[in-house]
């Protein structure tokens, strides 16, 4: 009796975010030995190979936002034939504000293995150099482009106690920072990190309003923004309860949500737990 055919693996390969010397030997080996590479931009990938001074025997196909849904079944069929699929984005780790999630989800559902060749990350690099707390953080990626939707999301983040990381296009940076200052406070500490690991790398630190004024004349290149969370001493009981409510709305259990929020805000855990129970009971009564 023969066993089931081996499925190929999805290999998420992190590429340099700027400096080609950040490419690991594992990445080079992976690209040189690959049979099929799904690249966010095939031209950018060809340039990466040239910068690294290597060649690949792999078939390279495009895999970007516009064709990801249609490309996934084709790549899944490749996996079923036992061939690995290497996924690369233009820079950094795939899936982080880049394509790849549909393929990962489909591969896992089909029983295929998903692994990674770790590489540079603009998120973690910006966090490390920001000078802001990094023990707890959240990644928000690109906020909505339209002003009203962007401001609404920033208002929702006003009570977020964790350090926040955003991506933003240079032509929208000044307005993003202005909106952030209005929602989070002019003096909320932040850092604008541009061109990380590249020749013109720059990290500008200051309050949001100050950075918004600076960005009017200095927004160029690839931008990552790091913003401090709300300080623990700025939280009242209602603020902590609102955070618990938001976490429960996202599916987190009450006890776990209370424990995490209490740790982040300094709220008394038992009192917060009792308030959250009462809040949940009141909400349940209103829905009847």
pLDDT, tens only, 116-155: 999 999 999 999 999 999 999 999 999 999 989 999 999 9
Domain boundaries, the chain: 10-120, 123-230, 233-286
Grouping H, G, I as helix, E, B as strand and the rest as coil, residue 154 is helix
* Domain 10-120 homologous superfamily, CATH: Tetrapyrrole methylase, N-terminal domain (3.40.1010.10)
Task: List, for residues 67-117, the tens digit of each pLDDT value.
Answer: 999 999 999 999 999 999 999 999 999 999 999 999 999 999 999 999 999
Give Cα 194 to chain centroid, integer Å.
Answer: 16
Judge whether 226 and 127 are in contact, CB under 8 Å: yes
CATH superfamily of 123-230: Tetrapyrrole methylase, C-terminal domain (3.30.950.10)
Q: How far is CA 17 from CA 153, 185, 219, in A?
A: 27, 31, 18
Task: Provide the percentage of residues in the chain whose pLDDT is more than 70.
Answer: 98
Which letter does DSSP use for residue 15 in this model?
B
pLDDT digits (tens, 9 = 90+) for 167-208: 999 999 999 999 999 999 999 999 999 999 999 999 999 999
Q: What is the pTM of this model?
A: 0.81
């Amino acid at each position: 009796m023969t066993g089931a055919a081996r499925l190929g693996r999805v290999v998420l390969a992190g590429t340099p975010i700027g400096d080609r010397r950040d490419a690991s030997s594992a990445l080079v080996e992976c690209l040189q030995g690959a049979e099929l590479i799904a690249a966010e931009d095939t031209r950018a990938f060809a340039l990466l190979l040239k910068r690294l001074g290597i060649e690949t025997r792999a078939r390279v196909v495009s895999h970007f936002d516009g064709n990801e849904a249609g490309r996934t079944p084709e790549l899944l069929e490749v996996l079923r034939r036992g061939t690995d699929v290497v996924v690369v984005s233009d820079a950094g780790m795939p899936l982080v504000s880049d394509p790849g999630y549909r393929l990962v989800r489909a591969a896992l559902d089909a029983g295929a293995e998903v692994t990674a060749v770790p590489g540079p990350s603009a998120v973690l690099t910006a966090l490390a150099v920001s000078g802001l707390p990094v023990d707890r953080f959240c990644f928000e990626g690109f906020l909505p482009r339209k002003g009203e939707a962007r401001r609404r999301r920033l208002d929702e983040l006003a009570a977020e106690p964790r350090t926040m990381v955003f991506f933003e296009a240079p032509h929208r940076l000044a307005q993003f920072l202005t909106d952030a200052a209005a929602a989070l406070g002019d003096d909320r500490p932040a850092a604008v990190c541009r061109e990380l690991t590249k020749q013109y790398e720059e990290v500008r630190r200051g309050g949001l309003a100050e950075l918004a004024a600076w960005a009017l004349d200095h927004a160029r290149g690839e931008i990552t923004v790091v913003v401090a969370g709300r300080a623990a001493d700025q939280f009242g009981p209602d603020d902590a309860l609102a955070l618990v409510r938001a976490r429960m709305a996202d599916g987190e259990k009450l006890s776990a949500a209370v424990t995490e929020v209490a740790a982040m805000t300094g709220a008394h855990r038992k009192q917060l737990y009792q308030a959250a129970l009462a809040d949940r009971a009141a909400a349940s009564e209103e829905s009847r």
